[in-house]
Chain A
Amino acid sequence: AQTVTQSQPEMSVQEAETVTLSCTYDTSESDYYLFWYKQPPSRQMILVIRQEAYKQQNATENRFSVNFQKAAKSFSLKISDSQLGDAAMYFCAYSTASISNFGNEKLTFGTGTRLTIIP
């Protein structure tokens, strides 16, 4: 079974600075997907960024980027120019590639990192 580990329960960063959230995972599969989801106090889960394991290039979405190290099974999230609205719980998640033509597979989540933005 796949596992996802987030070793930083809490992080804080000064507004406008850069912060990196860590995530490691364990799998024997070669093809899979990795995600970062954000959960603000409203508790709505929002996708931040998605990475396909077979792609070498790290995914980026505006101020959000990842450092995907497949051999090390590491998938960290970098937030640049941190803003007050970035304060939230951040969850790293893993999904296997579909093993049938049924379509999508489930997400396995890490325990989350609570990010605080200091004004």
Chain B
Amino acid sequence: DAGVIQSPRHEVTEMGQEVTLRCKPISGHNSLFWYRQTMMRGLELLIYFNNNVPIDDSGMPEDRFSAKMPNASFSTLKIQPSEPRDSAVYFCASSPLATSGGAQQYFGPGTRLTVT
């Protein structure tokens, strides 16, 4: 199993540009999560999907951020326009179905985003 795949691993862009981060979850997993990690705010959940449906997007900072999951094997997180304060490591994680919750989340290697 290849694990959760994220691309790109590193992204450097200029303020105002559109940024798209990509994630391929582990095959067969039903839940997908997007997290952001910064020194100031630690690890925070942005949005998560169950069976491709967004369940909780309360962590999305503002309208510049959007996420989609068009099918079970692909998700994107888009920032438009990007700002320097968006610089962070963005993690994607997936987990198998567990109707009572508590399933292990498997994390991707993260995308380090730098906005200059």
Chain A residues at the B interface, C-beta cutoff of 8 Å: 32-33, 35, 42-47, 50, 52, 91, 95-98, 101-112
B109 nearest CB across to chain A (Å): 6
B87 to chain A, nearest CB (A): 15
Q: Find out whether the CB atom of A106 lies under 8 angstroms from the CB atom of B102.
A: no
Q: Is the CB of B42 within 8 A of A107?
A: no
Sampled A-B contacts (16; CB under 8 Å): A33-B101, A42-B109, A44-B110, A46-B107, A91-B43, A97-B100, A98-B100, A98-B101, A103-B30, A103-B31, A104-B101, A104-B105, A107-B45, A109-B44, A110-B42, A111-B42
Query: How many cross-chain pairs have Cβ atoms below 8 Å apart between A and B?
Result: 73
Contact check, B98 vs A104: say whether CB atoms are below 8 A apart.
yes
Asked, given contacts A45-B93, A106-B56, whether A97 binds B102 with beta carbons under 8 Å apart, the answer is: yes
Q: Measured between C-beta atoms, what is the minimum distance from B13 to chain A in Å?
A: 20
